Amino acid sequence: MLPIRGYATKGPTSILEPFKFERREPGPHDVLIEILYCGICHSDIHQALDEWGGAIFPMVPGHEIVGRVMRVGAQVKRFKVGDLAGVGCFVDSCRVCASCKAGLEQYCEGHIAWTYNGTEKDEKTPTYGGYSSQIVVDEHYTLKISPNLPLANVAPLLCAGITTYSPLRHFKVGPGQRVGVVGLGGLGHMAVKLASSMGAQVTVLSTSKTKEQDARRLGAHDFVLSKDSTSLEAHANRFDFILDAVSAPHDINAYLRLLRRDGVLALVGAPPKPLEVHAFSLVPKRRTLAGSNIGGIRETQEMLDYCAAKNITSDVEVIPIQQVEAAYDRTLKGDVRYRFVIDMKTL
């Protein structure tokens, strides 16, 4: 077994603290990665606070991982020592169900090994995430990272990037379409960059007036302060597609009514409490309310390659790991521009 250093929380009311644990020695198909940067996703916070239920402690969060390959198993073909590598939200899956076979491992119908707060393929060994020195992952669940982009800014692509890219592709967002992005946080700011790079006309719907300038700099054509119901109503029946990336309970009906006939609102935000949907927000204009979960390995690689070609990365604030608790507090207050990323050298 390999000795690993990390940060873990022991329960929903504990704080993240230094934690020592072990990972398996790399097997024939595994790569051992020295973690250089790890993003802080709001899902880390939901899970560390056990807001979704069923959390496993001690928990080492972190699923926006980039680093350098230190060792490879004998059968590994796609990586060699010294290569950059990325790991996202899962590190294995059943590999035989229809979703896995379709390259949609995130919807695995068998056992999926989430990067943390889950169990390995054996369904017993707890998984520990990226707030740690090293990780061992099967090469098939490891992503290739371009050396041409700043690495700290690439880390958030492994969750925030793919979670917004995948529904934009699935719902065929393209040139000339009117796209709304609700919530300008880690996910939301990537959605703005990606949707505008695909040619869409993007409007940010935000509760924070102070984010208007940023929204435009990130590529939005328009900004609506969502707390102001008159400005919101002025956009009724307007959008082809809305991506809702809000982390907290909110009135989704206010956004559904902004969709045109046959428009789609895709939820990627995962508030811990149910959202109430009014029939009349959907029925009269045959609107669709959908959901979307991260992305599969093939599409994550496609997104990383797309971002490398288009020079798209996340806006980040790099922090030492000792400031992780302060970063959680600031994220909860909406005070993040637009993703905290931990510099793992500071561990």
The rounded distance, in Å, linking the Cα atoms of 131 and 320 is: 11
The minimum distance between CB 95 and Zn ion, in angstroms, equals: 6
Dihedrals phi, psi of 191, to nearest 5 degrees: -60, -40
269: partner contacted, choices ligand NAP, Zn ion, none (Cβ within 5-8 A by kind): ligand NAP
The minimum distance between CB 101 and ligand NAP, in angstroms, equals: 21
Residue closest to ligand NAP, measured at CB:
185
Choice from 159, 220, 297, 307 touching Zn ion (CB under 5 A):
159
- Strand 201-206 to strand 178-182: parallel, antiparallel, or no bridges (unpaired)? parallel
Reduced to 3 states (helix: H, G, I; strand: E, B; else coil), residue 36 is strand
With beta carbons less than 8 A apart as the criterion, state whether 85 and 98 touch.
no
Of 250, 179, 265, which Cα lies nearest the Cα of 220? Answer: 179
With CB under 5 A, what is the number of residues at the site for Zn ion?
9
Q: Which residues bind ligand NAP (CB under 6 A)?
A: 41-43, 46, 159, 163, 183-188, 206-208, 211, 245-248, 250, 268-271, 292-294, 331, 334, 336
Footprint on residues 206-265 left by Zn ion (CB under 5 A): none
108: partner contacted, choices Zn ion, ligand NAP, none (Cβ within 5-8 A by kind): Zn ion
Footprint on residues 2-61 left by Zn ion (CB under 5 A): 41, 43
Residue 212 or 343: the one with the smaller Cβ distance to ligand NAP is 212
58 prior amide bond cis, ω within 30: yes
Q: Is 296 left (phi over 0), alpha (psi -120 to 50) or beta?
A: beta
Footprint on residues 97-156 left by Zn ion (CB under 5 A): 97, 100, 108, 110
110: partner contacted, choices Zn ion, ligand NAP, none (Cβ within 5-8 A by kind): Zn ion
Residue 151 or 245: the one with the smaller Cβ distance to ligand NAP is 245
The rounded distance, in Å, linking the Cα atoms of 143 and 137 is: 10
97: partner contacted, choices ligand NAP, Zn ion, none (Cβ within 5-8 A by kind): Zn ion
Structure tokens at 252: 């989704």
Amino acid of residue 76: V
93: partner contacted, choices Zn ion, ligand NAP, none (Cβ within 5-8 A by kind): Zn ion
The minimum distance between CB 107 and Zn ion, in angstroms, equals: 8
CA dihedral 55, 93, 185, 11 (to 10 degrees): 10
Residue 106 or 203: the one with the smaller Cβ distance to Zn ion is 106
The rounded distance, in Å, linking the Cα atoms of 126 and 115 is: 9
Of 258, 247, 252, 168, which Cα lies nearest the Cα of 222? Answer: 258
Residue 42 or 178: the one with the smaller Cβ distance to ligand NAP is 42
What does the binding site for Zn ion look like in residue numbers (CB under 5 A)?
Answer: 41, 43, 93-94, 97, 100, 108, 110, 159
